Amino acid sequence: MNDLASKPAVAAGRRVPSRLIFFFGALAALGPLSVDAYLPAMPSIARDLGVGIVQMNHTLSVFLFGYAIGQFFGGAFSDQIGRKRVGYAGLGLYIVTSFAIPLVTTIEQMLALRFLQALGGGFSTVICMASVRDIYPVEELGRRFATVTLIILVAPLVAPVIGASLLPLGWQTIFFLKAAYATLLVAIYAARVPETRHGAWEHLSVRSIFAQCAAVVSRRVDGRRVPIRFALAMALASSVLMTFVTNAAFIYMEYFELSAAQFPLLFGMSVVGLMSMNLFSMRHLRTDNAPKFFRRGLLTQLTAGLYLLLVVAAGAASLWTVVPAIILMLSMLGLVGPSGSAQYMAFFEQLAGSASSVHTTLMFSLGAVLGAAAGVFYDGTLLPVTAVMALASLAANAIAWSLPRRAVHAATRAR
């Protein structure tokens, strides 16, 4: 794996064009756009395909599984052959499948195409975190990841509104819009964005992928596997968000009986909260306070999750009692994500793509499993969903508190 010793194309010490961070944020936003834009249309699609809302939720779980697989292979491949080759391949597959999905006539066809679309999306977006690691010094990573995340969050804020607006023209138009967005990204990527890590086709090796990811998982600090614990804790915390998104149409449109026009307003409140905390991280996150942000964000998420579970179990669920707790749980990812990513990615330089693969594969795999689990235990109430969210947050906190403090601070100093 000689390619792993190659240097990033954007050399250290050179001024990094400010547009790069915005492009990588826009590229990473392809993921939430793929999920959130069609949430208001799910009841309509279900009627057209002759299925129930729970079966439609499977199209979200399948997407998350495919996205995880795409991210797993895409990040490691980008360490071998370069970031842009992987990005182009993923965007190409995404565009083709986005044009094909409007032609489906059965839920099985939609599930298959959503899986393929997710593979392309995973390939093209996993390179974002790795590219940021390529071009910025370790001490800037927390703020840079927060900036990327803030840009990403524009998608779930506006995507449901766009989806609801396009719905009168037919749900198919939502997927045509996704194809157009991906096409625009390809054009910008080709014309304006340099390669941040060169590679060569002869370095392509599927076998090496597993060796690279195994190296990430087995990385030790003071004899303990500390880096992978960051990845696991962040993945579990993020699965709270994915469980909510997978079941958002049920929670707001079926349980609370909101309309397709009202749905984006409630959904957007959580996104605004998450954006606010990311903005806070952009301004205040430093290498010395990253561990504190990480732990406090997780603890606050757990507190809100336990409150939400108690409210639902007591039969006191209403928009006034449920929505604020959901907003707080999801908002805390604005602290946990940037601070956790900065510490985790600081352990890796030559294997940045593989490290990104491991993290995002865990995140989307767990999100898919937990989101589907809430559907398996579906009983017409909010109890399964809130229980899964609370348990995921509890597990994230348990892992985070197992991190030795000395190792946590060592992550911020790693080069």
Is residue 96 pLDDT above 90, yes or no? yes
pLDDT digits (tens, 9 = 90+) for 41-92: 888 899 999 988 778 878 888 888 888 888 888 877 887 888 889 999 999 9
Confidence of residue 157 (pLDDT cuts 50, 70, 90): confident
Residue 106 identity (one-letter amino acid):
T
Q: What is the DSSP letter of 382?
A: S
The pLDDT assigned to 5 comes to 40
Is residue 347 within 8 Å of residue 227, measured between CB atoms?
yes
| Alpha-carbon distances of 206 from 80, 159, 202, rounded to whole Å | 10, 35, 12
d(CA 123, CA 127): 7
pLDDT digits (tens, 9 = 90+) for 333-348: 988 988 888 888 788 7
The pLDDT assigned to 2 comes to 41
Spans of all domains in the chain: 14-413
The pLDDT assigned to 222 comes to 76
Residue 226 identity (one-letter amino acid):
V
| Alpha-carbon distances of 104 from 68, 98, 119, 160, rounded to whole Å | 24, 11, 18, 22
* 369 contacts: CB under 8 Å, gap ≥ 6: none
**What is residue 221's three-state secondary structure?**
strand
Please state, for a pLDDT cut of 90, what percent of the chain lies above it: 30
Is residue 95 within 8 Å of residue 117, measured between CB atoms?
no
How would CATH label the architecture of 14-413?
Up-down Bundle (1.20)
| Alpha-carbon distances of 293 from 250, 336, 408, rounded to whole Å | 32, 7, 12
The pLDDT assigned to 398 comes to 95
**What is residue 137's three-state secondary structure?**
coil
pLDDT digits (tens, 9 = 90+) for 232-246: 999 999 889 888 887
pTM for the model stands at 0.70
Which has the minimum average pLDDT: 146-155, 276-285, 386-395? 146-155
The pLDDT assigned to 214 comes to 84
pLDDT digits (tens, 9 = 90+) for 182-191: 999 999 999 8
pLDDT digits (tens, 9 = 90+) for 369-410: 887 787 777 778 899 999 999 999 999 999 988 887 654 455
> How many Cα atoms within 13 Å fall on the side-chain side of residue 327?
17
| Average pLDDT of the chain to the nearest whole number | 83
**What is residue 82's three-state secondary structure?**
strand
